[in-house]
Amino acid sequence: AQSVTQLGSHVSVSEGALVLLRCNYSSSVPPYLFWYVQYPNQGLQLLLKYTTGATLVKGINGFEAEFKKSETSFHLTKPSAHMSDAAEYFCAVSRAGANSKLTFGKGITLSVRP
């Protein structure tokens, strides 16, 4: 079984401040990990993903995440928040193979204060 925990439902930062959104996963096999972003009234868009290889993954819009196996974590960061980053962010886990599925966390809403 696999699961994702995103602690808290809302994070608020000031424009220009560091963004840190936490994600911890549970998986009995090597995981694939994803971060998706959902802007208001839109579908989900992939920010970045980790499958194998380099544990620091860079995505779109200046976001990055680091896979830490020992901590079962995949936290999302961005050095400097922009107003346009305000959205809901979902972490998801899966594994290799045709029979696998994506399991999503409950999501975190990011607000950016001027």
Partner 1 sequence: EAQVTQNPRYLITVTGKKLTVTCSQNMNHEYMSWYRQDPGLGLRQIYYSMNVEVTDKGDVPEGYKVSRKEKRNFPLILESPSPNQTSLYFCASSFQGGDEQYFGPGTRLTVT
DSSP single-letter state for residue 70: G
**Smaller CB distance to partner 1: residue 56 or 98?**
98
**Smaller CB distance to partner 1: residue 59 or 62?**
59
- Could you tell me the two tokens for 12? 């608020």
Q: Which of 21, 74, 94, 112 is in the footprint of partner 1 by CB under 8 A?
A: 94
CA dihedral 79, 68, 24, 2 (to 10 degrees): 140
- Could you tell me the two tokens for 44? 């989900």
Rounded distance, CA 3 to CA 11, Å?
21
Binding mask 24-63 for partner 1 (x = CB under 8 A): --------x-x-x----xxxxxx--x--------------
Residues that bind partner 1 (CB under 8 A): 9, 32, 34, 36, 41-46, 49, 90, 94-102, 104-107
